[in-house]
Amino acid sequence: MRSEFEFIERIRDRARGVQAADLMRGIGDDAAILRQRAGRETLITVDLLVEEVDFKLAYAPPRWLGAKTLAVSLSDIAAMGGAPTFSLLTLAIPPALRSDAFWEAFFDGYFTLAAAHGVALIGGDLSSSPDRLALDSIVMGVCAAGRAVRRDGARPGDGVYVTGSLGASAAGLRLLLAGARVEDGVDTPEQRALRAHLCPTPRVAFGRGVGEAGLAQSMIDVSDGLAQDLAHLCEESRVGAVIEFERIPIADEVSLVAQSEEEAFRLAVGGGEDFELLLTAPPENEAALVALAAERGLRLTRIGEIVPPCEAFTVGVRRGEEIKSLSIRGYNHFAGAPEPASI
Amino acid sequence: MRSEFEFIERIRDRARGVQAADLMRGIGDDAAILRQRAGRETLITVDLLVEEVDFKLAYAPPRWLGAKTLAVSLSDIAAMGGAPTFSLLTLAIPPALRSDAFWEAFFDGYFTLAAAHGVALIGGDLSSSPDRLALDSIVMGVCAAGRAVRRDGARPGDGVYVTGSLGASAAGLRLLLAGARVEDGVDTPEQRALRAHLCPTPRVAFGRGVGEAGLAQSMIDVSDGLAQDLAHLCEESRVGAVIEFERIPIADEVSLVAQSEEEAFRLAVGGGEDFELLLTAPPENEAALVALAAERGLRLTRIGEIVPPCEAFTVGVRRGEEIKSLSIRGYNHFAGAPEPASI
């Protein structure tokens, strides 16, 4: 492959494609320069993806890996109710991964998604890695002052809502682990599940719309799994939540791998990486939220309610007359695997 | 070690120590929220440090590694003439590196330097790594609109100036490779060289002062080595530069490892990682620049001049009556080692 400097010049050429307001200086200096404006707030998030831990090259077409690297961070900006604006990208590249074809495909995926959302790549860094690829994705966004939707604003009486459906990504991961592989141009439930896992769609337009219209009290994206992400939201807001077993919008693809209703539920709420948006809002905003989702071509499902904090559970699941504590846990990077699921 | 979530909570506790203007929301949400203000610009930079490539744990006391992780990015903000404000930190942690003592020391170094410069840690991410530690350091800064000092502003007739002295870091690296190790509380030239390499001091106050007073036409920090960084600056500015062989401020510690005047020069201009500031300014600003450096306890040396672009060299070295092209190259992550030095 070309040298480090030629590689960077190639990225810089591709980054020039996006016209960005308020960008005074992008790649090419010690730091990027961005104009600030009165009455606005900057949002910033970072997501680290490590080979063999967060992805496997054997599973992921490089174009999808490039898109997912950006998508996971776009999802965080969407979850704040903001509009994404700028990105930075850090690459630790092992000697075995120096083919031009790999990186052209990776950046096709990255820059196509960036252009779709008006995001300009303004910086980054590069190092070699002894053996594994690592990607660090930084995305900035913007919102009107005071309009960011935080995790800590949920109040008892809020409805709990989620976009789209849950579990397709977890189903896709199971299928990959069982040997399924991506096939170009094939549209089957199995291939849709793989795509949900390997190339998720962040809910950028809906999230931004929620923030701009001030419709939600709190919001988070479903990256660790609904159970864990709703628990994070409740902990930050110092409230509890009760969700309805029957109302979880389980993705059709889950039926490819789940043997029972319980297993489907566990995959949907415990699986993670769906990158749907989970939000809470007072009942009077429900109609506007559903309409906004419909405009964006999304389903929005009311799955439960925020309740005052209680000792028995942070997140409870109601099935019939019974409420049980939801103890499904998501991925713990230090434990190496999800903790045992139980409900 | 504790779980991933306890680890993050511990970092979050430590991050609360810094009071930061314009920080609306730090660690704990999908993204951090920062107030923008009219008449200001945001600066943002990122630096990736990979174990065995950019540092070795056998050499670096964890406290110094924590400080250096932040320092390299502070240096970039200084090189823009800005004031650092916020940081984010990404960690890919291998199973072998889970001791509380290591991370307490690492964060002592990181947060002590952050506090010294009023920098608040506002976010980050964490993953496990199969075998090597990788650190991604993101630092944001601020300056008045139009005051950022870029690489592309150098003009023929500008003087070329550098802070401090050059080569101590390269000398320190050679000593480490030859078996020297850090000894607590020992102040010898050898130990000072090791410290220059393992725990460099970014020129934050001077860089910010240069930007605020509008004294420089262009500026860059010396991370790849003066030869390469001055070439970057010249390429961005579409000019050339001539530096004087006799005027390079070679650090005293270079004499520990260099056998000749030529070798000392090569280490000083080719070694890299000094994190001094290299700037160009019109002659009428020289007195003010020297005074500003003196106020900050720094030496500032005029090492040459910006010239119109010429075909013979980007950066030339004058020694006596002769000007030769400076072809010393810095580190290339894809080549794995510096290219052969020649002058």
Query: Nearest CB to A36: which of B37, B219, B220?
Result: B37
Instruction: Name the least confident of A16-25, A262-271, B52-61.
Output: A16-25
Q: Do B134 and A138 touch (CB under 8 A)?
A: no
Residue A18 pLDDT exceeds 90: no
Give the chain B residue whose CA is nearest to the CA of A49.
B127
Rounded Cα distance, B122 and A318, in Å: 37
Determine the number of helices (DSSP H) and then strands (DSSP E) in chain B: 9, 13
Q: Which residue has the tokens 């672009």?
A: B309
Q: Do B44 and A34 touch (CB under 8 A)?
A: yes
Report the percent of chain A where pLDDT is more than 90.
Answer: 88
DSSP string, A128-177: E-SS--EEEEEEEEEEETT----STT--TT-EEEEES-BSHHHHHHHHHH
pTM to 2 decimal places: 0.95
Q: Do B79 and A30 touch (CB under 8 A)?
A: yes
CA distance B260 to chain A (A): 31
Q: Do A42 and B54 touch (CB under 8 A)?
A: no
- Of A127, A155, A118, A124, the closest CA to residue A138 belongs to A124
Report the percent of chain B where pLDDT is more than 90.
Answer: 88
**Separation of CA A279 from chain center:** 14
Question: Which of B30, B136, B143, B236 is the best mutation test for A, with the most CBs of A within 10 A?
Answer: B30
The ipTM (two decimal places) reads 0.94
Q: Do A48 and B7 touch (CB under 8 A)?
A: no
Question: Which of A1, A11, A24, A29 is the best mutation test for B, with the most CBs of B within 10 A?
Answer: A29
Q: Which residue has the tokens 């065995």?
A: B52
Packing angle between helix B226-237 and helix B261-270, nearest 10 degrees? 50
Average pLDDT, chain B: 93
For residue range B40-79, what is the model confidence (pLDDT) as tens digits? 999 999 999 999 999 999 999 999 999 999 999 999 999 9
For residue range B167-213, what is the model confidence (pLDDT) as tens digits? 999 999 999 999 999 999 899 999 999 999 999 999 999 999 999 99
Task: Give the number of other CB atoms < 10 A from CB of residue B159.
Answer: 19
Give the chain B residue whose CA is nearest to the CA of A332.
B4
Rounded Cα distance, B139 and B43, in Å: 8
Residue A341 pLDDT exceeds 90: no
